[in-house]
Amino acid sequence: MSKDTGIKKKYSYTQNRELSWLRFNRRVLEEAADAKVPLLERLKFVSIFSTNLDEFFMVRVGSLFDIASMNPDHTDNKSGMSPEEQLDSIYRVIPGLVERKRRIYRAVCMELEKEGIKDVQYEELTPLEREYAEKFFDTEMLPILSPQIIDSRHPKPHFQSKGLYVASLVHDKNDRKSMAFVQVPEHLPQVLMLSEAGRSIRIENILLQRVPELYGKFRQEEACVFSVTRNADVSFDSEKFEDSETDFRNYVEKRLRKRATLAIVRLEIDRDVSDGFRKELMKMTGVQKHQVYIDRTPLNMKYVFEMIGGLPDGLKGKLLYRPYEPRWPEDLSRDVPMMEQIRQKDRMLFFPFDSVEPFIRLLNEAADDEDVLSVKITIYRLASSSKIVRALCRAAENGKEVIVLMELRARFDEENNIGWSKMLEEAGCKVIYGLENFKCHSKICLITSHKKGKYGYITQFGTGNYNEKTNAMYTDLSIMTANEDIGRDGTAFFRNMLTGNLDGQYKELLVAPAGIKPALMEMIDGEISKGGDGYICMKINSVTDRDIIDKLAEASRAGVDIQLIVRGICCIRAGIADETENVTVTSIVGRYLEHARIYCFGRGGSAGLYISSADLMTRNLSRRVEIAGPVHDEDIKRQLIRILEVQLSDKAKASLMQPDGSYIRKCEGEAVALDSQQEFMDETLHDVQNAPVPQKIHNGLFGRIAAFFSKS
Which residues, 6 or more positions from 150, have their beta carbon under 8 angstroms from its beta carbon?
156, 157, 178, 179, 180, 181, 284
103 and 124 assigned to the same domain: yes
My answer on whether 343 and 431 are in the same domain is yes
For 211, other C-beta atoms within 10 Å of its C-beta total: 21
Cα three-residue angle 691-692-694, rounded to 5 degrees: 105
579 and 492 both lie in a single domain: no
- Residue 705 lies inside a defined structural domain of this protein: no
Name the helix (H) or strand (E) containing 691. none
Do 534 and 435 fall into the same domain?
no
| Rounded Cα gap, residues 420 and 643, in angstroms | 34
Residue 22: phi, psi to the nearest 5? -60, -35
In this structure, the answer to whether residues 630 and 592 fall within a common structural domain is yes
CB 400 within 8 A of CB 366: yes
| CA atoms of 363 and 246, how far apart (whole Å) | 32
Give pLDDT, residue 144.
97
- For 226, the 3-state DSSP assignment is strand
441 has catalytic annotation? yes
By the 8 A CB rule, do 613 and 597 touch? yes
State the distance between the two ends of the chain, measured CA to CA, in whole angstroms: 57
Please give the single-letter amino acid code of residue 662.
S
Q: How far is CA 467 from CA 231, 327, 386, 417, 455, in A?
A: 27, 16, 7, 12, 29
**Residues 533 and 614 both lie in one domain:** yes
Q: In the beta sheet, which residues pair with residue 612?
A: 628
| Contacts of range 316-325, beta carbons closer than 8 Å, 24 or more positions apart | 316/40, 318/115, 319/38, 319/39, 319/40, 319/41, 319/112, 319/115, 319/117, 320/38, 320/40, 320/41, 321/38, 321/41, 321/591, 324/352, 324/681
Between CA 506 and CA 487 the distance in angstroms is 11
Write the single-letter amino acid at 706.
A
Distance between CA atoms of residues 192 and 199, nearest Å:
9
| Dmax (CA) of the chain | 92
Please give the Cα distance from 712 to 427 (Å, whole number).
Answer: 51
* Same domain as 491, residue 355: yes
Q: Where are the alpha helices (DSSP H) in 561-675?
A: 618-622, 634-648
- Among 320, 463, 452, 306, CA closest to 378: 463
DSSP line for 437-464: TBEE---EEEEEEEETTEEEEEEEEESS
Domain final position from 474, 499, 524: 499
* Nearby residues of 672 by Cβ (< 8 Å), 6 or more positions away: none
Give the sheet arrangement for strand 191-193, strand by strand: 118-119, 199-202, 191-193
Q: Count other Cβ atoms within 10 Å, centred on residue 137.
A: 18
266 occurs within a structural domain: yes
Say if residue 361 is in the same domain as residue 471.
yes
Q: DSSP strand E in 172-291: where?
A: 177-183, 191-193, 199-202, 219-230, 264-269
Kindly report the backbone phi and psi dihedral angles of residue 165, in degrees, each rounded to the nearest multiple of 5, phi listed first.
Answer: -135, 150
pLDDT at 258: 55
Q: Classify the C-alpha dihedral 639-645-651-656 as positive or negative.
A: positive
User: Do residues 157 and 201 share a domain?
Assistant: yes
Give the closest residue to 535 by CA, choosing from 585, 607, 597, 586: 607
Which residue type, as a one-letter code, is found at position 405?
Answer: L
For 660, residues 6+ apart whose C-beta sits below 8 A from its C-beta are 573
Closest listed residue to residue 515, CA positions, set 543, 537, 496, 542: 496
| Domain with 405 in it | 338-499
For residue 394, is it within any domain? yes
Do 41 and 33 touch, CB atoms closer than 8 A? Answer: no
Q: Would you state the torsion angle of the CA atoms of residues 10, 14, 15, 21, taken in this order, to the nearest 10 degrees?
A: -150
Confirm whether 695 is domain-assigned. no
Among residues 359, 315, 326, 330, the alpha carbon closest in space to that of 677 is found at: 326
User: What CATH number does the domain containing 195 carry?
Assistant: 3.30.1840.10
Report the 10 Å Cβ neighbour count for 122.
17
- Which residue, among 627, 359, 617, has the nearest Cα to 467 in the 3D structure? 359
Write down which residue in 432, 467, 499 finishes a domain: 499
8 A C-beta contact, residue 349 and residue 478? yes
Q: Where are the beta strands (DSSP E) in 552-643?
A: 561-566, 583-588, 593-594, 598-601, 608-612, 624-630
Same domain for 351 and 259: no
Pick the catalytic residue from 158, 171, 441, 698: 441
Question: Could you tell me which of 599, 623, 619 has the C-alpha nearest to residue 610?
Answer: 599
**Do strands 444-451 and 454-462 pair parallel, antiparallel, or not at all (unpaired)?**
antiparallel
Q: Mapping DSSP to helix (H, G, I), strand (E, B) and coil, where does residue 535 land? A: strand
Q: What is the pLDDT of residue 33?
A: 97
Other C-beta atoms lying within 10 Å of the C-beta of residue 586? 22
* Residue 470: CATH number of its domain: 3.30.870.10
Residues of the chain with confidence (pLDDT) below 70 = 1-9, 152, 155, 234-261, 409-414, 417, 668-671, 684-712
Q: What pLDDT does 698 receive?
A: 39
Question: Where a domain ends, among 319, 347, 373?
Answer: 319
pTM to 2 decimal places: 0.89
Q: In whole angstroms, what is the distance from residue 539 CA to residue 419 CA? A: 33
pLDDT number for residue 707: 40
Q: Residues 489, 538: one domain? A: no
Do 477 and 532 fall into the same domain?
no
CB 162 within 8 A of CB 143: no
> Please, which residues have CB within 8 angstroms of residue 385's CB and are 6 or more apart in sequence?
none
Residue 61: inside a domain, yes or no? yes
Contact 46, 104 (CB under 8 A): yes
- Asked if 233 contacts 189 with a C-beta cutoff of 8 angstroms, the reply is no
- Our count of domains for the chain comes to 3
Q: How many CB atoms lie within 10 A of CB 43?
A: 27
> Judging by DSSP bridges, how do beta strands 347-351 and 474-481 pair with one another?
antiparallel
324 occurs within a structural domain: no
Could you tell me if residue 698 is inside a domain? no
What separation in angstroms does the CA of 385 have from each of 168, 396, 405, 601? 41, 18, 19, 39
- The answer to whether residue 699 sits within a structural domain is no
